[in-house]
Structure 1
Amino acid sequence: MISGRFPRTIRYTPARQLAHRAMLMTKRRALSALARNIPALKTPPHKKAPPLAGDLPAPFLSGAHGTVSVKNGQYTFNFLNSPRRFTLPVDWHREDLNTGTRLWKLNLHYFDYLHQLENADFEALVSDWIAQNRPFKPGYWLDSWNSYAMSIRLVAWMGEYQRRQAHLGYAFAERMIASIAEQARFLQANLEEDIGGNHLIKNIRALYWCGRFFAGETGCKATRTANRLLARELDRQILPDGFHFELSPAYHCQVLADLLDCWRLMAPGSLRAKLESKLVLMAQIASDFTHPDGLISLFNDGGLHMTVSCGALKDAYETLLGPWPQALSGSQYRAAGFFLKRTSKLFLAYDAGRLGPDGLPAHAHGDVFSFELSLGQQRMIVDTGVFEYNAGARRAHSRATVAHNTLTLDDHDQGEFWSAFRLGRRPGVIVNSACITAGNWMVDARHDGYAHLDGSPVHRRVITISDDETISIQDAIAGGRGQRAVARLLLHPSVEIVRDDRDHILLRSGEARLRLEAESARVSVVERPWWPDFGCEVMTRQLVLDYGTAPGEWSFQLHLETAASHSNTS
């Protein structure tokens, strides 16, 4: 029997994606069956490597997903804050790596850590991978010949070949180039059009690299494919306001880095000019979503150090296109649904948009009407972040609405999250009005993510920031029948909680002071995890504001205060 959430999930997926997935599944099964009976498919190719271009592209804006070190013949890889040791020959498919989404294993096969190795270790590791990893083994598409991993690996291998070519042995160099050519052909035949999004951008970047790395028809074919895909994906993936359509600031920065590299590798022309106009918008967003601590916002999937750093992005952008845009004091990205406020004292980022694109909600969280707040350089109210992509309790919590700084009814989610990346029913979000100016900052919006509950409740939140930088939040539930309404605020681990003699709550971290007034709510404190990066868990506290039952209207305020005004508070 098919669960109702499956049809509620599949109905949002474009037919072209479903058709491409069906084609890939059929092809994978057929090729795996053939490989069992054709010995030639089990050994590395002996084709002569195609000719290389005269001016090979150099590494650019490469941010490794982890680290590798070698001592006494032992390779220690550290991905997702989890180290593991290997010796040659490497067991690339060790059983403990085949869990969940296999993200650690994918990182191993990315090879974007190669720049950390000496030439001898570099040659040994690449040679070992080529010898042991042939396509078309059962499950080959999950890791070693996964097109996303391959896109990262191709760029890493080509970049390191350019950097080390004078020091590589002839036989190894020929073998490496032949493997790069084989992987490039495979990628062009297995593009991730069933997934799309940032995965397809990675494919496009790798193809532009191949176009510049190989001479003749091999390079030309890769460039033609990259141009065709990019011309289509720019308008599909980059919203009119410049935000990447998956609505994750971290993934937005990753896509910005990949597209900057594409721009660098492309020939001049109308497509490159169009890409440049998109990059200008995307850079402004990256600047705006950088907290005063220099790190990116954590809305939806991502991590503080998941992708290329904001500083490296800035340097790369200025090398290619000119001055990095200054963060704006007040900005609104209506297509994406984000609204921001920045002063000398505070930075607030507010989400009043949809969860994600209908065809790719994999990185979406239940965070409609959630916000992040920094005072000075200090994060005070934070997004929960992400510990892992493997399905389970941690993955479910990272996506759940109870983990975000918004309101729940009977702890239900705003969307129907399931498995590691699936989303069935999802809310409609409408911004009733917004005023983002130097003197006024207000967003009034509503969503119907709880309308399936008894009484069809609809949540409306109005958030304002006054001249004295007091943040006021008004919540209202229209409809509903007795569901418990609860708002939540997740605090940075450095924040202390102090109750004053009026039972107001003072939040302090260093010189930062924030007073919570919530007269219409009963406030309690619970322990919750904060996951600033993959594999990194820090316990912190969450304020739970129990409003009562729906329908109803409630409010709370956050007042900025100086350390001097509370000098007598211990």
Structure 2
Amino acid sequence: MFRFLNRTHTLQAHGGWNDAALEKLWLYNLHYFDDLNAQDAHARRDLHQALIARWIAENPPTSGNGWESYPTSLRMVNWIKWLAAGNVAPPSMVNSVVLQAQWLAGRLERHLLGNHLFANAKALVFAGLYFEGTQAAVWLATGLKIISKELPEQVLADGGNFERSPMYHAIFVEDVLDLINAAQCWPGLVPNEQVSYWHETARRMLYWLTGMTHPDGEIAQFNDAAFGVVPRVTELMAYAARVGVGLPTAIENSKVIHFADSGYVRMQTFDAVAFLDVAPIGPDYLPGHAHADTLSFELSVFGQRVVVNGGTSCYGLGADRLRERGTAAHSTVEVADANSSEVWGGFRVARRAYPFELKVLPSSGHVACSHNGYTHLPGAPVHRRQWQMNKDSLQVQDTVRGGKHASLSRYILHPAIQVAAIYANTWHLTLAGGQRLLVVVQAGQGRIEQARYAPEFGKQLQTQSLVVELVSGEADVTFSWVK
């Protein structure tokens, strides 16, 4: 039995590695072999040896999901880590790794770029370090050349990953730490200046990740993002310390941090923290993990999530994937039942929103931004949102100017929140810890609706959403709290 993405299945004796009845992402995870290097993996050494031998026997070269370039890359790294840790290789394992490296070297995902090409390059570096000889030297040189080009492009100056997904950012942090670790395990093979750059990049990335992490220790959920896929920031910090990466400075209270290159803002008081999306959805040539979530935000108060985005429960081409990428699944404004960016096809985006007129005033706790994602509609409407964070409140003001369209501002609430109406346009929100927030709609017409929240792959939870109909193009909502 194998459990990935909160789904448990049995690996069938015939064709199980490529079972068409199972979703492709689940099958990809089956081929990754992440458990070889998981916690307490040594206790499952015999199982791992048998599973590796079975994979080799049942996955003939170049056939099936496991030989696609991305799962091949992740599996190669996991197998080489396992071998380098001193485990005894089953028959044909070493030869299989060589064959996988040869196959991958001729099928680098240059057409996809992004995290796929980087994963390919990382695998070639591992193979080039682990093996010796002319062919290994070519693998190493090829991998290092790709990484030297892609790392400065994919990691922005503020430390954020250019795909604007905190989940993929964390994956990327682990990738860079793995490269540093490998360079230390096989010293003298990677140029010192390249390793130094990896160290500096890892520090910037860890600072960004810390800044985009809620008090509960999990990431903010913008674009494709789910819990349970990557290590938590505390685990990555510990890994960084083990490989000698200098840790970034701590995130301070009572401060506005603007990640200007990636396009996110963290607003924090002693009791609350908000994360604001004033970013482009991602690089124009690589929007595959983007959601129509422009000007959405998330809020934690007293260490507990209050306002969330809808999350990510699945990939693929189904209705749930399309819904979860849509504007209505995020804590932002929807105009005329349209998506702010035209998400389609599982991993594609056509027309997309671009933020403009951004104003960040750290001293007063004020942020404002507009976007043009709805200007294709009659009257060319523009959504502008303003956040004002004070010691014990967060005010969110929305305006939509241009045309005459129905507009809704949604605030998706965490499932642990209990909602109680006090009177018109006013509610109490009770947190799991017993603390209360007061929510007042000062402009617009508010109501509570059912909603869905997907914190992890394979998991959808029922929750509630405060939905505010803009009146005369305006809405004004204040969340306030007292200890």
TM-score (ref. length: structure 2): 0.93
Q: Deviations over 1:383-420 (max 9, x none)?
A: 11011002122111111101111111122100111111
How many angstroms does 1:324 deviate by? 4.7
1:494 aligns with 2:416: yes
| Aligned counterpart in structure 1 of residue 124 of structure 2, from 188, 192, 207 | 207
Aligned residue for 1:147? Answer: 69
Partner Cα distance (1:84, 1:523) in 2: 44
Q: Deviations over 1:105-138 (max 9, x none)?
A: 111111112354734432322122212212444x
Give the drift of 1:322: 2.7
> What is aligned with 1:229?
146
Answer whether contact 1:515 1:561 (CA < 8 A) is retained: no
How far residue 503 of structure 1 moved from its aligned partner, in angstroms, is: 5.0
CA distance in 1, matches of 2:70, 2:210: 27
CA contact (8 A) 1:374 1:380 kept: yes
Find the partner of 1:534 among 451, 457, 461: 457
State the match for 1:447 in structure 2.
371
Does residue 1:516 correspond to 2:439, yes or no?
A: yes
- Whether 1:160 and 2:160 are equivalent positions in the alignment is no
Q: Which residue of 2 aligns with 1:377?
A: 303
Alignment map for 1:338-349 (pairs within 5 Å): 338-349=264-275
Q: Corresponding residue for 2:29?
A: 107
Asked if 2 retains the 8 angstrom alpha-carbon contact of 1:246 and 1:363, the reply is yes
**How many equivalent residue pairs?**
469
The answer to whether the Cα contact below 8 Å between 1:89 and 1:128 also exists between their aligned partners in 2 is no
Note the residue ranges of structure 1 that are not aligned, 5 or more in a row.
1-75, 563-570
1:238 CA displacement: 1.1
Equivalent in the alignment of 2:331: 405
After TM superposition, the structure 1 = structure 2 runs for residues 249-328 of structure 1, keeping only pairs within 5 Å, are 249-266=166-183, 267-319=190-242, 320-328=244-252
**Compared CA separation, residues 409 and 124, structure 1 to 2 (3 A):** same
- Taking the aligned partners of 1:248 and 1:548, their CA distance within structure 2 comes to 33
Structure-2 residue corresponding to 1:368: 294
For 1:381-400, list aligned pairs within 5 A. 381-400=307-326
Q: What does residue 417 of structure 1 align with?
A: 343
Is 1:85 matched with 2:7?
no
Task: State the Cα deviation string for residues 320-372 of structure 1 (Å, max 9, x = none).
Answer: 21335312332111111100012320011000111111111111111111111
Task: Tell me the distance in 1 between the aligned counterparts of 2:182 and 2:108.
Answer: 20
Matched residue type, 2:412: L
Query: Residues 38-57 of structure 1 correspond to what in structure 2 (within 5 A)?
Result: none
Runs of 4+ residues deviating >6 angstroms: none
Cα deviations by residue, 1:410-451 (Å, 9 ceiling, x for unpaired): 2210011111111000112114321124xx211121111000
| 2:299/2:308 contact within 8 Å kept | yes
Check conservation: 1:362, 1:421, Cα contact below 8 A: yes
Distance (whole Å) between structure 1 residues aligned to residue 232 and residue 14 of structure 2: 33
Instruction: Work out the CA distance in 2 between the residues paired with 1:302 and 1:254.
Output: 11
CA contact 1:201–1:259 (8 Å) conserved in 2:
no
Distance apart, 1:223 and its partner CA: 1.3
- 1:128 maps to 2:58: no
CA distance in 1, matches of 2:443, 2:232: 41
Aligned residue identity for 1:92 = W
8 Å CA contact 2:218–2:233 kept in 1: the answer is: yes
The residue identity in structure 2 corresponding to 1:265 is A
Residue segments in structure 2 that go unaligned for 5+ positions in a row: 184-189
Question: What is the aligned-residue RMSD (CA, Å)?
Answer: 1.8
Q: Which secondary structure does the structure 2 equivalent of 1:420 belong to?
A: coil
Specify whether residues 501 and 133 from structure 1 end up closer, same or farther in structure 2 by C-alpha distance, changes over 3 A only: closer
Is residue 2:479 matched to residue 1:553? no
Identity value in percent: 31
Q: Is the 8 A contact 1:340 1:348 kept in 2?
A: yes
Contact in 1 for aligned 2:409/2:475 (Cα 8 Å): no
1:184 to 98, 101, 124: 101
The 1:114/1:264 distance shift into structure 2, 3 A limit, reads closer
- Looking at structure 2, the residues matched to 335 and 324 of structure 1 have their Cα atoms a distance apart, in angstroms, of 18
Q: CA deviation at 1:164?
A: 4.5
Inter-CA distance 431–353: structure 2 relative to 1 (3 Å threshold): farther
Say whether the 8 Å CA contact 1:249–1:296 is kept in structure 2.
yes
CA distance in 2, matches of 1:272, 1:160: 23
* 1:388 counterpart SS class: coil
Contact 1:154 1:180 (C-alpha < 8 Å) held by counterparts: yes
2:355 is the alignment partner of 1:429: yes
> Structure 1 length as normaliser, TM-score?
0.79
In 2, Cα distance between the equivalents of 1:89 and 1:160?
Answer: 26
CA distance, structure 1, for counterparts of residue 227 and residue 5 of structure 2: 12
Q: In structure 1, what is the Cα distance between the partners aligned to 2:361 and 2:34?
A: 44
Q: Distance in 2 between matches of 1:80 and 1:370?
A: 26
Question: Following the alignment from structure 1 to structure 2, what is the Cα–Cα distance between the partners of residues 394 and 458?
Answer: 28
Displacement of 1:501: 4.7
Distance 2:142 2:452 in 1: 44
What do the CA deviations read for 1:83-112 (whole angstroms, capped 9, x no partner)? 011355663222312x4xx10111111111
Cα distance, 1:197 vs. partner?
1.2
Alpha-carbon distance in structure 1 between the residues aligned to 2:157 and 2:130:
33
The aligned counterpart of 1:24 is none
